[in-house]
Amino acid sequence: MLRVPTSGKRLLSALSGQSVSPPPIWLMRQAGRYLPEYREVRGKVASFLDLCLNPELAADVTLQPLRRFDLDAAIVFSDILIVPYALGQKVEFIEGEGPRLEPVRDARSFALLDRARAPDLLAPVYATLERVRAALPPAIPVIGFCGAPWTVATYMIEGGGSKDQAEARLLAYRDPELFQRLIDLLVEVSIDYLLGQVSAGASVLQIFDSWAGSLPDDGFARWCVEPTRTMVRRLKAEVPGVPVIGFPRGAGVLTEAYVTETGVDAIGCDTSLPLSWISDRLQPHIPVQGNLDPVLLLAGGPSLDRRVEETLSALGGGPFIFNLGHGILPQTPPEHVARLISLVKRG
Ligand code: 1CP
């Protein structure tokens, strides 16, 4: 049985600039390894990518957290690295290690990327969305997402996760022309991908720029803000009613420029942004989302309760969506998630 949230379209109201009490809540990585039922489904397929590409199982996994918790949105189960996969790059997820890709670092490997087959390769994600949309009550929106071009480019260039994105920055500095061609390609394929997700039933979009914090201000303007601005402008032209949440993780004080220059409808705040700064500098201009420390959710106990109260009193008076400052950690006890949601819903 799916829980029907107590007061309808709370997420969309908050995204349109209204203060909603209690605030809507969803959690980044709300589907995933911390849920035993996820681990069970994951055990049925050989690889993580196989799960993302299996609409029946991916839809089931998407719905799992909504069966347990009073969440205000579903987020389609997939990964930001599905886009490099759709461009023909070799992408694998190694158990216990993370993603591994065949690096793109020169004109030759860039030339192998091919946009033509992307719609077919991404079709399973659209099928997942259609299933999820059909299974949920109309009041619960489904969030579609992609990685921002910069963040996806870092994985494509590094060949996986990295601690400082140095190879990606090096390519951007040494061969800005090639790097720009990669960003431009990602802008185009990501716009198509997000529009495909809207056609399949997504009514909110989030752009994850998880590595926005690794660029200096000029690089941030050129490779985070500018491509995102292009994407938002095109999305607004095609699907004007669909709000876009930007999540430039680690952007710090540059978050303000990101808000004014990209045109996103709401701003995802990471854990490092102070609550008072979010409420003074961001919330007067834009709905804010965030930013509980995922490690505090893992810890639970009185410090979790206290911080949830502080967050609600700092941000609950304006347009606000409760979320974490980054994804749920796999070791998180599901009871802590239940506790968090009950505290937020108590308002
Ligand atoms: O089953 C498993 O153990 C695989 C773990 C896993 C999961 C559950 C990965 C591998 N991706 C996902 C799902 C996922 N990824 C979702 C699902 C929807 C939901 O929120 O419930 C989303 C939105 C993502 C987005 C994503 N993938 C981001 C952006 C958000 C963030 O965490 O910063 C990034 C950077 C990735 C790359 C990725 N995919 C997986 C891992 C372990 C990583 C991070 C690699 C690294 O840089 O360390």
- pLDDT tens across the length of the chain (347 residues): 444 444 458 999 999 999 999 999 999 999 999 999 999 999 999 999 999 999 999 999 999 999 999 999 999 999 999 999 999 999 999 988 999 999 999 999 999 999 999 999 999 999 999 999 999 999 999 999 999 999 999 999 999 999 999 999 999 999 999 999 999 999 999 999 999 999 999 999 999 999 999 999 999 999 999 999 999 999 999 999 999 999 999 999 999 999 999 999 999 999 999 999 999 999 999 999 999 999 999 999 999 999 999 999 999 999 999 999 999 999 999 999 999 999 999 86
Catalytic: 29? yes
Any domain includes 129:
yes
Q: For residues 325 and 290, is the Cβ–Cβ distance under 8 A?
A: yes
Q: Which atom of ligand 1 is nearest to the CA of 210?
A: 33
Strand partners, 91: 101
Any domain includes 29:
yes
What pLDDT, on the 0 to 100 scale, is given for residue 8? 55
Q: For residues 225 and 262, is the Cβ–Cβ distance under 8 A?
A: yes
Any domain includes 1:
no
Residue 215's CATH number: 3.20.20.210
Report pTM: 0.96
> What CA–CA distance (Å, rounded) separates 329 from 29?
8
Which SS3 state, helix, strand or coil, does residue 89 take?
coil
What pLDDT, on the 0 to 100 scale, is given for residue 62? 98
Q: For residues 328 and 297, is the Cβ–Cβ distance under 8 A?
A: yes
Any domain includes 4:
no
> What CA–CA distance (Å, rounded) separates 13 from 110?
42
> What CA–CA distance (Å, rounded) separates 142 from 74?
5
Q: Which domain holds residue 293?
A: 9-346
Report the Cα 40 to chain-centroid distance in Å.
24
Spot the catalytic one: 38, 126, 155, 258. Answer: 155
Q: For residues 18 and 243, is the Cβ–Cβ distance under 8 A?
A: no
256: Cβ–Cβ under 8 A, 6 or more apart, which residues?
A: 281, 282
Count of the separate structural domains present in the chain = 1
Q: For residues 38 and 64, is the Cβ–Cβ distance under 8 A?
A: yes
Any domain includes 3:
no
What pLDDT, on the 0 to 100 scale, is given for residue 347? 61
> Which residue's alpha carbon is nearest to atom 28 within ligand 1?
80
Task: Answer yes or no: is the C-beta of 125 below 6 A from any ligand 1 atom.
Answer: no
Catalytic: 10? no
Token duo for residue 62? 């998407």
> Which residue's alpha carbon is nearest to atom 6 within ligand 1?
32
Catalytic: 50? no
Whole-angstrom CA distances from 149 to 81, 212, 254, 326 are: 11, 10, 18, 19
> What CA–CA distance (Å, rounded) separates 185 from 115?
8
Any domain includes 207:
yes
Per the rule left: phi > 0, alpha: psi between -120 and 50, beta: everything else, 206 is beta
> What CA–CA distance (Å, rounded) separates 178 from 171?
8
Any domain includes 2:
no
